[in-house]
Amino acid sequence: MRRRVDESVASKRNEEKGVKNKVQVQTRSSWWVWVKRALIALCTLYVTTPFVLRLFPSVMQYLVYKHAVTYFVDLSRPSDLGLNHTVNMYLTSEEGVTLGVWLTVPEQKWKESQGKGLEWYEQSLGDGSPVFIYFHGNTGNRAAPHRVGVANVLSSLGYHAVVIDYRGFGDSTGEPTQDGLTTDALYLYHWVRARSKDSPVFIWGHSLGTAVSSGIAVILQEKGNPVDAVILEGAFTAGKLQKGQPHPFTWYYWRFPYIQYYFSLDSIEANKLELSNVENLKKMRTPLMILHSKDDHMAPFWMAEELYNTAKSAMKSEEKVQLVAFDGSHGYLHNGLYRDPALPNYIREFVQSVAK
């Protein structure tokens, strides 16, 4: 009798257990379905993106410039980002194209700058301190931390920093194209030159901006009005790609070489992305400093070495070109050089060597 009771209790327990197990299986299976769906969606995106790009080159343009990526800041208020000696202004490089620009004066002028308007900033450009025009890379706008970081480094060295958002970037109007970016950059350069009097004017390009920089440096040189010097940070060599050669903006596909085919010549040329630093540096005779981190994941370090060698043999001079390499252990990657404590010294020495 006792035994039977025990048995029935045990079987009841087992039944309960069975129910519990079922519930667990059900929750786990619905969770698993979602994970599977997410994984399938990711794989589909990963595989189809190159095909979509092949079919719709305008998507490629979007990917390369990524101009629509915005940071949620009010670009008319640079002081929100600690740039308390900066004025926001707008230039019209071409009918219908309005460009947002920040002018930052040397740090020692920050007190004097309080409450001053654009006119004061414009006049300051001619105060004899070097002026740097900064051409940024392919994502976001002039408020990105690494761009503000470079402006701060330059300003603390006693230089002016002029930072532009090309057409289609930030609060600038228009759509980015290679010709458009070049037009904007040249326009800004002439605008600065008209105010800088005897101050030397330098160009600093980063990433995609390196091609814009070397491009206008060549144009200005050919017109007999060369830039005083150029700094290229995180520069890349790929302009006209050879088939199978990876494009720097598709680094996340590098591990899967077959996909590179879809990024080869056609879609690139359809958008006139002839952003060739190599071709430009073959012609450029302007003093040049190349800054590059050894752990750069977008533009691998060998690209900087190739550019350095190209410029050195083109200029037939060791003195007018230098390559400053930053150790990979710092983790600067593609954007972080501005954090290097030795950077201000490299820049100061370069500026002094050019001014001599």
84 binds ligand NAG (CB under 6 A): yes
98 binds ligand NAG (CB under 6 A): no
207 as an active site residue: the answer is: yes
Closest CB to ligand NAG among residues 110, 120: 110
228 binds ligand NAG (CB under 6 A): no
Closest CB to ligand NAG among residues 88, 293: 88
Task: Give the whole-angstrom CA distance, residue 268 versus residue 266.
Answer: 5
Closest CB to ligand NAG among residues 84, 182: 84
Q: Active-site residue among 93, 207, 213, 293?
A: 207
Q: Active-site residue among 85, 136, 206, 334?
A: 334
Provide the minimum distance between the beta carbon of 84 and ligand NAG in the complex, in angstroms, as a whole number: 4
Task: Give the whole-angstrom CA distance, residue 204 versus residue 220.
Answer: 15
156 as an active site residue: the answer is: no
Closest CB to ligand NAG among residues 84, 353: 84
Q: How many residues form the binding site for ligand NAG (CB under 6 A)?
A: 4
Closest CB to ligand NAG among residues 113, 214: 113
Closest CB to ligand NAG among residues 85, 142: 85
Measured from the Cβ of residue 175, the count of other Cβ atoms closer than 10 Å reads 13
293 as an active site residue: the answer is: no
107 binds ligand NAG (CB under 6 A): yes
**Phi and psi of 165, rounded to 5°?**
-100, 115
Provide the minimum distance between the beta carbon of 107 and ligand NAG in the complex, in angstroms, as a whole number: 5
3-state secondary structure the chain: CHHHHHHHHHHHHHHHHHHHHHHHHHHHHHHHHHHHHHHHHHHHHHHHHHHHHHHCHHHHHHHHHCCCCCCCCCCCCHHHHCCCCEEEEEEEEECCEEEEEEEECCHHHHHHHCCCCHHHHHHHCCCCCCEEEEECCCCCCCCCHHHHHHHHHHHHCCCEEEEECCCCCCCCCCCCCHHHHHHHHHHHHHHHHCCCCCCCEEEEEECHHHHHHHHHHHHHHHCCCCCCEEEEECCCCCCCCCCCCCCHHHHHHCCCHHHHHHHCHHHHHHCCCCCCHHHHHHHCCCCEEEEEECCCCCCCHHHHHHHHHHHHHHHCCCCCEEEEEECHHHCCCCCHHHHCCCHHHHHHHHHHHHHC
Provide the minimum distance between the beta carbon of 331 and ligand NAG in the complex, in angstroms, as a whole number: 25
Interaction pattern, residues 301-320, with ligand NAG; x per rule: CB under 6 A: --------------------
Provide the minimum distance between the beta carbon of 151 and ligand NAG in the complex, in angstroms, as a whole number: 10
110 binds ligand NAG (CB under 6 A): yes
Interaction pattern, residues 128-167, with ligand NAG; x per rule: CB under 6 A: ----------------------------------------
> Measured at CB, which residue is nearest to ligand NAG?
84
Provide the minimum distance between the beta carbon of 117 and ligand NAG in the complex, in angstroms, as a whole number: 18
Binding site for ligand NAG (CB under 6 A): 84-85, 107, 110
The catalytic residues are 207, 296, 334
